[in-house]
Amino acid sequence: MALLETAAQQDDVIKAMVQQLQAVTFEAVVTVMAGYDPIQPTLLTGQTGKNGWMVDGAESSPLRWVALDSSKRTDPQEPVVVLHSSAAFASKVIDHAEPAATGRELLMKAAQNLAPWLNNPAWMQVHRWRYGFVSQSLAQPLLHHPELPTLVGCGDWCQGGNVEGAIASGYRAAATLAQILP
């Protein structure tokens, strides 16, 4: 966007593309990855099976969802839980100087709501994404203008807002360029 905005000052087609891009918005997310001692139970209260689990946060919760990520691996060495914050929570803490404190806050919330052992990880990593999830997409598979055919924008922000959307947009961009380039 920063690159295009400079070019848009000299080119009306790029200006029109930038105007389209301005409709696209993102939500921030803070993600915690937490590993636990293998002897820790990985079940949630009331859960009887041994399979993976994923819990969605209520609308007012600071948690978007929490899942037993290690259950997706074929040979997990330890239980690993991934917690994603809500957009509202992330927007408040995204610039905090101490992300670890934010991570501990999310773990504590999950422990209160799901299972106490979640509050005692062996290790923890916190990641912050200012542009984490697409909240308003471009609503078309790619950003493209017929008068500037070799400039193509693609990604999850075009349509879909997830990996599938990003891949579909990438394929569409490649096909568009392949038609134009010799």
Ligand X SMILES: Cc1cc2nc3c(=O)[nH]c(=O)nc-3n(C[C@H](O)[C@H](O)[C@H](O)COP(=O)(O)OP(=O)(O)OC[C@H]3O[C@@H](n4cnc5c(N)ncnc54)[C@H](O)[C@@H]3O)c2cc1C
Binding site for ligand X (CB under 6 A): 29, 31, 84, 129, 132, 155-156, 162-163, 166
| Strands in 87-148 per DSSP E | 123-136, 143-144
- Return the residue matching tokens 């087609």: 13
**Residue 36 or 157: which CB sits closer to ligand X?**
157
**Residue 132 or 141: which CB sits closer to ligand X?**
132
Nearest to 176 by CA among 137, 149, 140: 149
**Residue 121 or 132: which CB sits closer to ligand X?**
132
**Residue 69 or 109: which CB sits closer to ligand X?**
69
Minimum CB separation of residue 3 from ligand X in Å reads 7
Minimum CB separation of residue 175 from ligand X in Å reads 16
**Residue 65 or 117: which CB sits closer to ligand X?**
65
Q: What residues does 56 pair with on adjacent strands?
A: 65
Minimum CB separation of residue 163 from ligand X in Å reads 3
Question: CB–CB of 60/40 below 8 Å?
Answer: no
> Which residue lies nearest ligand X, judged by its C-beta?
155
Minimum CB separation of residue 155 from ligand X in Å reads 3
Question: CB–CB of 48/108 below 8 Å?
Answer: no
Question: CB–CB of 67/55 below 8 Å?
Answer: yes
Q: What residues does 54 pair with on adjacent strands?
A: 67
Q: How far apart are CA 21 and CA 140, in angstroms?
A: 11
Minimum CB separation of residue 30 from ligand X in Å reads 9
Q: Using alpha carbons only, give the angle 39, 44, 46 rounded to the nearest 5 degrees.
A: 125
